[in-house]
Amino acid sequence: GQNIDQPTEMTATEGAIVQINCTYQTSGFNGLFWYQQHAGEAPTFLSYNVLDGLEEKGRFSSFLSRSKGYSYLLLKELQMKDSASYLCAVMDSNYQLIWGAGTKLIIKP
């Protein structure tokens, strides 16, 4: 079967760095997406990885290892507005997105 695993909840301090992990097993692979979702709002696209390595975009970076079925989202210089759920999604061989349950990130002052 297809499966995406990510931690349910994480807590970090304002100004610090946090790494949110995602492991996956899917039927085929056409890339991995990270989305941010504030409570009661729509998910918004953060990053896309299809090749191994690190993609950096401002304070956010995303890493992929296809051989290990593993990705992480790295958030630097955390701000209170980064409190949200972070969703990992893998695009399978049929170009359908398989979604993880999301990681709720709590930022403390």
Partner 1 sequence: DGGITQSPKYLFRKEGQNVTLSCEQNLNHDAMYWYRQDPGQGLRLIYYSQIVNDFQKGDIAEGYSVSREKKESFPLTVTSAQKNPTAFYLCASSISPDLAQPQHFGDGTRLSIL
Query: Given candidates 7, 10, 23, 30, which one binds partner 1 under the rule CB under 8 A?
Result: 30
Site for partner 1 in 80-109 (CB under 8 A): 87, 89, 91, 95-102
Query: Does residue 69 belong to the site contacting partner 1 (CB under 8 A)?
Result: no
Find how far residue 46's CA is from the centre of its chain: 8
Query: Given candidates 20, 26, 36, 43, which one binds partner 1 under the rule CB under 8 A?
Result: 43
SS3 for 97? strand
CB of 8 to partner 1, least distance (A): 8
Query: Does residue 38 belong to the site contacting partner 1 (CB under 8 A)?
Result: no
Q: What share of the chain is helix, strand, coil (3-state, %, to 5)?
A: 5, 55, 40
- Segment (H or E) for 5: strand 3-5
Q: How many CA atoms lie within 13 A of 75 on its CB side?
A: 26
Tokens of 11: 């807590």
Query: Does residue 41 belong to the site contacting partner 1 (CB under 8 A)?
Result: yes
Q: Under the rule (CB under 8 A), what is the footprint of partner 1? A: 4, 8, 30-31, 33, 40-45, 48, 50, 87, 89, 91, 95-102
